[in-house]
Amino acid sequence: MRHEGGFIQMKYFVTQVNFAFDEEWISKTNREAITEDHWGIWEATDLQDLCEQLTASSGFLVNDLHFTMKPE
């Protein structure tokens, strides 16, 4: 964890994320690529902040999320 702007930043290791894709407008290949691009380590103040970051980065709402906390 680290402090940033008065908030504690925690590291989350995202192992799986399901986005609210409109499957009629985005191909399976693109859905898979977007999903895989969002696996890995993310820093956030809490779970809501993490979901907001994933949504902002992908352009799609998060439906389901699997992660572990990463120690410093």
What pLDDT does residue 27 have?
93
What is the predicted pLDDT for the residue at 23? 78
Q: What is the pLDDT of residue 21?
A: 95
- pTM score, two decimals? 0.86
pLDDT of residue 61: 97
Regions of the chain short of the pLDDT cut 70: 1-6, 71-72
Mind spelling out the 3-state secondary structure of the chain? Answer: CEEECCEEEEEEEEEEEEECCCCCCCCHHHHHHHHHHCCEEEEECCHHHHHHHHHHHHCCCEEEEEEEEECC
* Residue 71 φ then ψ, to 5°: -70, 155
Our measurement of the distance from residue 32's CA atom to the centroid of its chain's CA atoms, rounded to an integer in Å, reads 14
For the chain, give the number of residues: 72
